[in-house]
């Protein structure tokens, strides 16, 4: 199948693409990886691929050898073949292609492929081409087999006892450098070797991405991934119809592609001879089982190519344990792509009367479902002093801001698929909110709850049809204070408002400053940020047992406080992403004011102010240009810890402010987190226990959800806070399962209290 470039076919490169196996069809490459259209899960329809290689190159997808896919032999049905025969056949096929398409003879020509194509491609070295690109290629069966145990052990997939036993008895005390490939089968060490490879018999482990979930619809993959010391590993890079953003995927599911390419109308359109009665398979078992691997490594072939001054790129995904070579990583991101947005979304913007001459800006997004019955959700961001438009455009709204600060893209995770959402900028002088009196930014918890309550009532006056909808109050970080106090106030005034308040959901909330401070040491020590010597010294001199130690009430001038600050120093490192300890922190301009103001979350021992919310972390899954799949964050480089430019640039564009009805005479410069509001804010309450108990007694449910790798508002806050509420435990900590995978862990108490954790950054 030949796909011409969408650019200039006369000058753009020509690329030959081969898949591996041996015995896997390269149509997999066109319909599941890099072609202009990808097959949908229904196996009947296609969707456009925004990352298609043919945007910049013409591509030949060649099915090789004979009897793979739609390829066949006119003289014989013999499926026996080997490396040398395939190389001759591929060479002949390429010559025939250029005879049929002579206009491409002068184009730059490149050979590309993956997996066992690491054998096919180097053996075409006698052909005239300009470069080679091989992805996760099996360039050396020796290296592939000998590095696999080290890779598995380094990723926690080999039992320590098995490792030490095999190392000592079979590798002279060191597996690194051990020639495992030469160990004979049917020997003690040959049998012990098989114990090193649990991934090949465990259906729940995704061997192509060990950090991704695995939900095979066809459990035959384990039997096909046998380790044979005398033969190559089968690498059927079965990159199924992997949705770009819809959760978990099967490890291998070829049914959609096989169904599509076996449809009579599709085969007719592809000019497949009907008399051949070909049933298309993605990977032919017959070919694989009867294929003879002649060359165990490609060193001599690749040297010939390189001596001819032909460039070669070997690119490896570092989570693939089938071909576990060291990855070559390029920290570049896709610039973006055009998406056709659906119609029917309803937006409303304006101002709500928050009392005391305050006008709070709001952005209301109606549900894409049934607005008459779907929940009404109030969303607040934290700070204090950060705009909830950050939540709208960086996290959960229907459209997200692009890096250019000028355009938007659709958010497949938008909450308004199922709920109508009110994004409220609070308090006054945050975002577009203001007062009709001379500017005075001084405020505090008690004033803000009164203003938020007034604004919510004014909203329901303007939109009375939503008064009967189930109401949920949600937010993150310091919004834990806003929401707890607002919930309590609504319950106290239920007769006045008659609101249909059902629950509150708080993400990584600062439910108690005391618990926050007292859990910081435990959390940081558990994540390797505290020196062992300092830890032991602190235990001996100050706490005996750090867990339960009340460091919050230490004398600020004491020796123990000084030791505490020294231990916490690492978590204040400006190069550490405190919102996600496992992600790099690059691209942050540490000298800019917007960067400085997000770096003071833990400067004082008492933490009387906490600048913490997911906006400042630019919610990795949704604010990355490669946001369409959660695991892209691991595959396509690092994220900046905070980048406020795009949203601030967008919301300060005159045409945007005009469109959302910002009064031009106010000359408002929108900031995501204005310093003056934060600096003049009074924190009136150290914890939310009393407010929380009050609304729980009013039959309002509470969900505390925490990303467990956030070091600013760590999950221990919610875990301890839930327990200290004093309600009876109804469900001890257990996994909660989504699509047969562990999505996180939950603990439930009576009165409708649920505490959950998820492997994520601040949420």
Closest CA to 22 of 107, 86, 105: 86
Q: What pLDDT shows up at residue 60?
A: 97
Q: In the listed set 635, 665, 680, which residue is the last one of a domain according to the structure?
A: 635
Whether residue 235 lies inside any domain: the answer is no
Whether residue 339 lies inside any domain: the answer is no
| 733 and 720 assigned to the same domain | yes
Torsion of CA 102, 105, 109, 115, to 10 degrees: 40
Structure tokens at 493: 């005034």
The answer for residues whose C-beta is within 8 angstroms of residue 188's C-beta and 6 or more apart is 169, 170
Q: What pLDDT shows up at residue 759?
A: 59
| Average predicted confidence (pLDDT) for the chain | 78
| 156 and 130 assigned to the same domain | no
Q: pTM (2 decimals)?
A: 0.54
Q: Please count the structural domains in the chain.
A: 4
For the cut 70, the answer to whether the pLDDT of residue 628 exceeds it is no
Whether residue 333 lies inside any domain: the answer is no
| 624 and 565 assigned to the same domain | yes
In this structure, of 212-216, 322-326, 622-626, the range with the lowest mean pLDDT score is 622-626
When pLDDT is averaged across residues 185-203 and rounded to a whole number, the result is: 72
| 374 and 501 assigned to the same domain | yes
| 24 and 163 assigned to the same domain | no
Dump pLDDT digits (tens) for 99-156. 999 999 999 999 999 989 999 999 998 888 999 999 888 888 788 888 888 777 555 5
When pLDDT is averaged across residues 26-43 and rounded to a whole number, the result is: 93
| 174 and 64 assigned to the same domain | no
Whether residue 338 lies inside any domain: the answer is no
Q: In the listed set 608, 635, 662, which residue is the last one of a domain according to the structure?
A: 635
Dump pLDDT digits (tens) for 521-536. 878 877 777 887 888 8
| 655 and 696 assigned to the same domain | yes
Residue with tokens 């806050």: 717
Whether residue 341 lies inside any domain: the answer is no
Whether residue 233 lies inside any domain: the answer is no
| 650 and 713 assigned to the same domain | yes
- Phi and psi torsions of 365, nearest 5°: -115, 115
Q: What pLDDT shows up at residue 157?
A: 62
For the cut 50, the answer to whether the pLDDT of residue 632 exceeds it is no
Whether residue 232 lies inside any domain: the answer is no
d(CA 400, CA 408): 5
Give the pLDDT band of residue 265 (cuts 50, 70, 90): very high
Q: In the listed set 265, 300, 315, which residue is the last one of a domain according to the structure?
A: 315
Dump pLDDT digits (tens) for 672-703. 999 899 989 999 999 999 999 999 999 999 99
Q: What pLDDT shows up at residue 757?
A: 78
When pLDDT is averaged across residues 20-47 and rounded to a whole number, the result is: 92
The answer for residues whose C-beta is within 8 angstroms of residue 559's C-beta and 6 or more apart is 541
Whether residue 334 lies inside any domain: the answer is no
98 burial type by CB count under 10 A (0-12 exposed, 13-18 middle, 19+ buried): middle
Note down the domain range covering 202: 142-224
Which DSSP state fits 297? B
Q: What pLDDT shows up at residue 332?
A: 28
| 194 and 212 assigned to the same domain | yes
| 126 and 251 assigned to the same domain | yes
| 14 and 117 assigned to the same domain | yes
For the cut 50, the answer to whether the pLDDT of residue 334 exceeds it is no
| 132 and 13 assigned to the same domain | yes
For the cut 70, the answer to whether the pLDDT of residue 40 exceeds it is yes
CB-CB contact of 568 with 520 (8 Å): yes
């Amino acid at each position: 199948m030949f796909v011409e470039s969408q650019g200039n076919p006369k000058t753009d490169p020509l690329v030959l693409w081969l898949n591996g196996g041996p015995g896997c069809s390269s149509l997999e490459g066109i319909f599941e990886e890099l072609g202009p259209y990808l097959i949908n899960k229904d196996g009947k329809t296609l969707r456009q691929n925004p990352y298609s290689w043919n945007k910049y190159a013409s591509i030949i997808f060649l099915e090789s050898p004979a009897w793979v896919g739609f390829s066949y032999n006119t003289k014989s049905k013999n499926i026996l073949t080997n490396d040398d025969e395939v190389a001759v056949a591929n060479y002949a096929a390429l010559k025939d292609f250029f005879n049929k398409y002579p206009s491409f003879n002068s184009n730059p020509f490149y050979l590309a492929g993956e997996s066992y194509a690491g054998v096919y491609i180097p053996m075409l070295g006698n052909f005239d081409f300009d470069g080679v690109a091989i992805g996760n290629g099996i360039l050396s069966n020796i290296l592939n087999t000998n590095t696999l145990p080290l890779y598995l052990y380094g990723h926690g997939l080999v039992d320590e006892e098995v490792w030490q036993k095999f190392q000592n008895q079979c590798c002279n005390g060191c597996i690194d450098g051990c020639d495992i490939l030469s160990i004979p089968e049917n020997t003690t060490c040959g049998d012990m070797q098989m114990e090193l490879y649990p991934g090949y018999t465990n259906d729940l482990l995704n061997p192509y991405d060990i950090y991704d979930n695995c939900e095979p619809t066809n459990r035959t993959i384990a039997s096909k991934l046998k380790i044979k010391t005398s033969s190559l590993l089968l690498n059927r890079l079965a990159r199924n119809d992997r949705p770009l953003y819809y959760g978990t995927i099967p490890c291998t599911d070829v049914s959609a592609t096989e169904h599509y390419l076996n449809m009579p109308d599709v085969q007719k359109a592809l000019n497949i001879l009907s008399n051949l009665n070909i049933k298309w398979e993605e990977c032919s078992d017959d070919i694989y089982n009867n294929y003879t691997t002649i060359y165990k490594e490609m060193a001599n072939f690749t040297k010939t190519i390189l001596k001819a001054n032909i460039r070669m790129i070997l690119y490896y995904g570092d989570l693939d344990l089938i071909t576990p070579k060291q990855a070559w990583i390029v920290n570049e991101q896709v610039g973006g792509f055009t998406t056709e947005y659906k119609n029917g979304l309803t937006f409303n913007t304006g101002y709500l009367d928050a009392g005391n001459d305050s006008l709070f800006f709001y952005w209301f997004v109606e549900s894409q479902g049934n607005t008459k019955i779907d929940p009404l959700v109030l969303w607040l961001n934290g700070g204090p002093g950060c705009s909830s438009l950050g939540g709208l455009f960086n996290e959960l709204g229907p459209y997200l801001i692009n890096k250019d600060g000028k355009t938007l893209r659709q958010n497949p995770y938008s909450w308004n698929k199922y709920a109508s959402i009110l994004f409220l900028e609070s308090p006054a002088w945050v975002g577009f909110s203001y007062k009709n009196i001379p500017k005075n930014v001084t405020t505090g918890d008690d004033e803000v709850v009164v203003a938020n309550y007034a604004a919510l009532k004014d909203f329901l006056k303007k939109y009375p049809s939503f008064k009967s909808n189930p109401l949920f109050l949600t937010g993150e970080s310091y919004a834990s204070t806003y929401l707890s106090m607002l919930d309590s106030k609504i319950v106290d005034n239920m007769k006045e408002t008659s609101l249909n308040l059902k629950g509150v959901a708080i993400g990584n909330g600062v439910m108690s400053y005391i618990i926050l401070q007292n859990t910081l040491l435990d959390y940081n020590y558990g994540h390797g940020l505290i020196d062992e010597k300092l830890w032991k010294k602190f235990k001996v001199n100050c706490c005996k047992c750090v867990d339960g130690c009340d460091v919050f009430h230490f004398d600020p001038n004491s020796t123990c406080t000084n030791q505490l600050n020294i231990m916490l120093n690492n978590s204040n490192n400006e190069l550490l992403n405190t919102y996600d300890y496992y992600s790099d922190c690059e691209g942050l301009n540490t000298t800019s004011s917007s960067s400085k103001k997000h770096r003071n979350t833990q400067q004082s021992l008492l933490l009387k102010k906490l600048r913490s919310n997911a906006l400042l972390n630019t919610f990795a899954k949704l604010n990355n240009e490669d946001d369409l799949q959660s695991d892209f964050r691991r595959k396509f480089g690092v994220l900046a810890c905070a980048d406020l430019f795009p949203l601030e640039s967008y919301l300060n564009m005159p045409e945007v402010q005009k469109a959302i009805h910002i009064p031009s005479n106010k000359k408002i410069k929108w900031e995501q987190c204005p310093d003056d509001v934060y600096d003049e804010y009074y924190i009136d309450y150290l914890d939310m226990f009393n407010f929380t108990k009050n609304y729980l007694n009013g039959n309002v449910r509470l969900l505390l959800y925490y990303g467990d790798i956030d070091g600013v508002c760590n999950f221990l806050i919610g875990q301890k806070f839930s327990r200290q509420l004093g309600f009876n435990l109804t469900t001890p900590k257990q996994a909660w399962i989504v699509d047969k995978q562990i999505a996180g862990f939950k603990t439930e108490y009576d009165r409708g209290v649920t505490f959950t954790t998820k492997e994520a950054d601040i949420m």
